[in-house]
Amino acid sequence: MVLTPQPVFDAVEHVTASTTSKPRVILMCPQGETFTQKKAEELADEEHLIFICGHYEGYDERIREHLVTDEISIGDYVLTGGELGAMVVIDSVVRLLPGVLGNEDSPVLDSFSSGLLEHPHYTRPREYKGMKVPDVLVSGNHKLIDEWRDKESLRRTFERRPDLLESAPLSKKQLQWLREWEEEAKE
């Protein structure tokens, strides 16, 4: 089962007929560029996005060659259709739009936005079943809290996704912490 080109071309032409800007036409497919936070940020700056979702064997190649501006994959696996992948991309992009999350800083501090994974989070109560919130987080010292968050973000990335450190913009202090952890790991 392959999507025939005529209805897809008709749908895109109908949607774009009423707009002056050229929309990004995104084809969800396993051969596409792997979706990242950076790509989500890029797409969030666009005025119009159109998603084409193949099903089973996909779509006629002329759709890819003549309509599509971007091909996106959400991972190295195959689904029965591109609809779920498109929903993942849409959710990731929409949450970056102003006013969606309620706090404009939220998407800036999320995992992958800075190149690192996000730091741990805690809430009340301060102690639960003997497990305590780190003292620094209830100290009221915002400078120390920011430093703790920065260090824990780096630590979490170092432990869980060291591959991200290859391209993350790291400060001198962060590089120092990494060297210390690498030395500890050798012992």
Residues that are catalytic:
30, 57, 95, 110
Among the listed residues 87, 98, 99, 15, the one whose alpha carbon sits nearest the alpha carbon of residue 50: 15
Single-letter residue type at 101: L
Helices 142-160, 172-186: axis angle to 10 degrees equals 50
Q: Are 115 and 163 in contact (CB under 8 A)?
A: no
**Joined tokens for residue 51:** 């998603």
**Joined tokens for residue 69:** 């501006």
Q: Across-strand partners of 73?
A: 34
Per-residue DSSP letter, 168: S
